[in-house]
Structure 1
Amino acid sequence: MITTPDLWHHYGRTRATTDRTVPATFRWAWSQNTGPGAETLGDLTGLRVGDLGAGAARHAAHLATHHQPARVDAIDASAAQHAMATDLYAHLTPRLRLFHADAVAHLRQRPSTYDALYSVFGAVDFTDPRDLLPTAADALRPSGRLVFATLAHHLDGAPARPDVTHTDIPATTPHDEATTMRRWVLQERTWTTLLGEAGFTRINTDLLRADVQGTRTADALLVTATRPT
C-alpha cells in the first residue's frame, strides 16, 4: 500500500478541467511541442505496451487510440494522477488499462509481458534506476524495447550527475506544504552504463535540444534500449 504523501496531487489538475481530449500527437521533448514522436516506439500494432509513470495517461491514450496496440497499461503510483486518468480516459478500456501502482512492483509481477515500455519524464526519472531498469528488462519479452525521455540537465541549469545519485527537488504535499522529492538527472554515459548492467543491448541516446528559451526549459535525452532475444 502506498502511504507516503501524494506529491503529484496538484500536477495537471488545471489542464484536466479544460482539456479532456485524446491528444492528437505524442512528443518526447520537454516542451511537448517538437521533436520525434511515437514512431520512436516502432510499429505497435497488436503489441502490449506499458507507460511507466503515466500521470494523467495522455500519452497512453494517444497510443491506444491512434496506434492499434493490443493494449496499453498506464501505470502511476499517484492516487491523484490515477484518478485523473480514470476520469479522462476510462472510456478507452479495454485497449487502455489504468493501474494505480508503483512501477517496479507492477513490473515484478509481470515477467516477459511487454513488447514495449516507455517513460516520458515519468517513473524512470523518479525511481532509483538500479531498481527500475533490471525490473523493466525482465518485464519485457525478448527483443522488447525500453524507450524513455529524461532531463539532460537540471531545470536550474546545473549539469546532470555523473554518478547514480538523486537530486532533491521542490515539491508540494496535498495540503500545500513544501517538501522535496527525488529525481535522477544523470549523464548520458551513466544511463548507458546502467542499461548495460541491467541486461539491455542496442542502447542509443539522442539529445533533444530545447526549442524555446526561458526559465524551466530543458534539453532532454531520448534513450532506447532492447532486451536481447
Structure 2
Amino acid sequence: MTVPTPDLWHHYGRARNATDHAVPDRFLWTWGQDSGPGIDLLGTVTGRCVGDLGAGAARHAAHLAVHHRPARIDAVDASPAQHAAAGTLYGHLAPRLRLIHRDVTEHLHTSAGIYDVLYSVFGAADFTDPYGLLPAVARALRPGGRLVFSTLAHHLGGAPARLDVQHTDIAAKTPHGETATLRRWVLQEHVWTKLLDEAGFTRIRTEVLSGRADPRGADTLLVTAFRTGGS
C-alpha cells in the first residue's frame, strides 16, 4: 500500500486566499512583492505559450492572463491545496489560464518544445532538485526560449547561500499540524550559472535585488537564461 505524501503547502496563503480574490495589477519578482522589475523581464508574452512553475495560487499567472493576453499560460503546481485555491480564485480565466495539478518536472518532461517562456517566482526553482528541473525546463522550451526565476539570494535569517548543489531542510507543517521538513535549494549565483550552462542554457544573467524594505531582510536573486538554439 502506498502512503500519500502529506501536502506541506496545505496551510500556505490560506488567510489571504480566503479574503483576496482580485487579479493582481502588478507582476513583481522580489521576496517582499513590493518593488523591483516587472513583466518586461519575460520579454514578449502576448500571443505566446507561457508556464508558471510552482504557481501556488496562480496569482502571477492570473495577472498575465488578464493583462498581457498570452495564447496560453499553464500554472503548474503539485500541491492539492494550492491547486484547489487557484481553481477557486481564477478558474474562471480558463481556457487562457490552464491550472495543472502535477509535479513540475514530470509535466515538463511531457511538454517538449511547447513553451516560449517559463518562469518561477519563489516556486519550483526553490523547491525542486535543480539537477532534474533545469534539464526538463530546457527540454520544454522552444529553441531560444526564455527562463526567468527569482529565488533567495541567502537563507532567511542571513546565512549565506550554499557553495555547492545541496538543499537546506526547512520546517513545515502537514495538513494536520505535525512537524515536517521541506527541502529548499538556496544557491550562490555562480552555482546557478554552472547548473544552467550544463543544462543547455546560454546568455545567463543574475542580479541581486535588495530586501532592505522587507522585515526579514530577504534579498532576491533574479536569474534569466535562454535555451540554446535560438537567434
TM-score (norm 2): 0.97
Q: CA deviation at 1:130?
A: 0.3
Q: Is the 8 A contact 1:31 1:211 kept in 2?
A: no
Taking the aligned partners of 2:26 and 2:119, their CA distance within structure 1 comes to 16
The 1-side partners of 2:90 and 2:168 are apart by 32
| Partners of 2:18 and 2:117 in 1: CA distance | 31
Gaps of at least 5 residues in structure 1 are: none
Partner of 1:127: 128
> SS where residue 65 of structure 1 aligns?
helix
For residues 101 and 202 of structure 1, the distance between their equivalents in structure 2, rounded to whole angstroms, comes to 29
| Pair 1:218-2:210 in alignment | no
What is the CA-CA distance between 1:68 and the residue it aligns to? Answer: 1.4
| 2:163 partner letter | P
Which residue is 2:47 aligned to? 46
Distance in structure 2 (CA, Å) of the matches to 1:3 and 1:49: 30
Q: Which letter does structure 1 place at the counterpart of 2:224? A: T
Deviations 1:26-62, CA, capped at 9 Å, x for gaps: 0001000000011110111110000000000000000
User: Partner amino acid for 1:86?
Assistant: G
Match of 2:74 in 1: 73
User: What pairs with 1:11-26 in structure 2 (closer than 5 Å)?
Assistant: 11-26=12-27
Checking the alignment, whether the CA contact within 8 Å between 1:34 and 1:211 is kept in structure 2 is no
* Contact 1:2–1:77 (8 Å) recurs in 2: no
Matches within 5 A, 1:107-126: 107-126=108-127
1:108–1:139 CA contact under 8 A, matched in 2: yes
How many angstroms does 1:2 deviate by?
A: 9.5
Cα contact 2:148–2:224 (8 A) shared by 1:
yes
Q: How many residues of Structure 1 are paired with residues of Structure 2 in the alignment?
A: 228
Moved over 6 A (4+): none
Q: Deviations over 1:62-113 (max 9, x none)?
A: 0011111000000000000000000000000010000000000000001000
Is 2:32–2:214's contact at 8 Å kept on the other side of the alignment? no
> What are the residue-to-residue correspondences of 1:168-179 with 2, within 5 Å?
168-179=169-180
- Residue 213 of structure 1, CA deviation: 4.6
* Structure 2: runs of 5+ lacking an equivalent: none
Measured against aligned partners, the alpha-carbon deviations of 1:194-219 in whole angstroms (never above 9, x if no partner) come to 0000000000001111041533x300
Q: Distance in 1 between matches of 2:170 and 2:102?
A: 22
What SS does structure 2 have at the residue aligned with 1:14? helix
- The alignment's TM-score, normalised by the length of structure 1, stands at 0.98
Distance 1:123 1:2, change over 3 A: farther
CA distance in 1, matches of 2:213, 2:70: 33
